[in-house]
Amino acid sequence: MLEALKIEPTHKTPKVYLDPKENHFEVSGRSIPEDSVGFYKRILDWIDEYANQPNPETEFKFELEYFNTSSSKNILELLKKLEKIHLEGKGKIHITWYYDEDDEDMEETGEDYKALLNVPLDLIMKVY
Amino acid sequence: MMIMSTSQPTETEKKEGPLAFSYECYKDMLDNNIIFAYRGIVTSDLVTNVLEIMEERLEEEGQSKKISKKVFNVMVECLTNVYVDEDKLFKEGYDPSALLLVAKGSNSYKVTTGNYIPTKGVNSLKLMIDRINSMDKEELKTYYQEILCMEEPDMNGLTNLAIIDLARKSKNKLTYTFKYENNKYTFFTLESQISKSGV
């Protein structure tokens, strides 16, 4: 089984926790790196590896606080790779996009991704 | 605060530098309702620090979380997209820093960035902003999704996607100025307005 990819969060990059053994897949926190292409490359490469032998069911959670448009393009790349796994029948993918009740921009972004992708994606509002 | 004024300038008033313009600067900021101002190099560390200061500031003012979040989202986008080719600007004798102003009006917050951009890119940028300003909410949404799928991920620069994003998040028309310096560089300011009503 593919080794987990775990990246600790910083004040400008998200927590990344991708562990097939625990069936835990999460990207959360802030995503405003200076070099978003460089930051996401490692994650996208890992997903390419994972696509070779994915779990039968993958629950992928996004819970972002802030992110810039440069990150949004990389996140779309990531989501497209997950969509491919799903559409090719290699494994079932389910994505959950969490957003804060006060953050209509994050909700709107989730709606954009949902409209662009052909993979189950649920938007969940976090209420405090 | 009391300001002393006499017909004859004192020794202190004759001085040059910050001491000479600090009061004018303070008054200008007050008159224009500037609640935050920064001039310097923009890094992601700076973005984080600015967010912390502004979070505290808006909380103190009792601003709703929904509007505060919108101001932060617009600020993040503005700051992370300010064009800064520091080394090149510096070598050519230009100030490589950017300007960030946040103003609080009676009905809205205004987030303004200013920075040098290559003059050759001015026309296309102007056309792009004008085009985005002519779109309604649904058109912006469709256009955003289209460009999101088309543009290759890149590191920085004010991309079309970022401009559409600012227009969508602020829900208001973007305003701008171009202050031509010469054939190489033009000072570009971009202002996003966030209504306090959230509409």
Residue of A nearest to B78 (CA): A68
Residue B10 pLDDT grade (very low, low, confident, very high; cuts 50, 70, 90): low
Output B79 or A77, whichever has higher pLDDT: A77
Helices A69-87, A36-52: axis angle to 10 degrees equals 10
Helices (H), A15-103: 36-52, 69-87
Mutate which: A44, A64, A65, A68, vs B, most B CBs within 10 A: A68
Cα Rg of chain A (Å, integer): 14
Percent of chain A at pLDDT > 90 equals: 87
The nearest CA of chain A is from the CA of B134 a distance in Å of 21
CB contacts < 8 A, A to B, total 86
Cα four-point dihedral sign B163, B166, B170, B174 = negative
CB contact A7 to B (< 8 Å): no
Residue matched to tokens 């930051």: A39
* B7, B12, B17, B19: CA torsion to nearest 10: -90
Which of A35, A69, A115 comes nearest B165 by C-beta?
A69
Are B102 and B75 spatial neighbours (Cβ–Cβ below 8 Å)? yes
Asked if A70 and B80 come within 8 Å (Cβ–Cβ), the reply is yes
Are A30 and A64 spatial neighbours (Cβ–Cβ below 8 Å)? yes
CA A65 to CA A49: how far, in whole Å? Answer: 27
Segment B93-144, tens digit of pLDDT: 888 889 999 999 999 999 999 998 889 989 999 999 999 999 999 999 999 9
Hey, is A67 helix, strand or coil? strand
Q: What is the pLDDT of residue B93?
A: 81
CA B127 to CA B53: how far, in whole Å? Answer: 34
How many Cβ atoms sit within 10 Å of the Cβ of residue B8?
5
Asked if B148 and A77 come within 8 Å (Cβ–Cβ), the reply is no
The ipTM of this complex is: 0.91
In terms of C-beta density within 10 A (0-12 exposed, 13-18 middle, 19 or more buried), how is residue B6 classed?
exposed
Percent of chain A at pLDDT > 70 equals: 100
Q: Say which DSSP state A1 is in.
A: -
Segment B11-66, tens digit of pLDDT: 655 667 777 788 889 999 999 999 999 999 888 788 888 988 998 888 888 888 89
Residue B151 pLDDT grade (very low, low, confident, very high; cuts 50, 70, 90): low
Name the pairing type of β-strands B108-118 and B185-195.
antiparallel
Number of helices (H), then strands (E), belonging to chain B: the values are 7, 5
Domain boundaries defined on chain B: 19-195
Per-residue exposure over B161-189, b if at least 16 CB sit within 10 Å of its own CB, e if not: bbbbbbbbbbbbebeeeeeeeeeebbbbe
Set of chain B residues whose Cβ sits within 8 Å of the Cβ of A33: 44
Q: Which residues pair with B40 in a beta bridge?
A: B98
In terms of C-beta density within 10 A (0-12 exposed, 13-18 middle, 19 or more buried), how is residue B155 classed?
exposed
CB contact A42 to B (< 8 Å): no
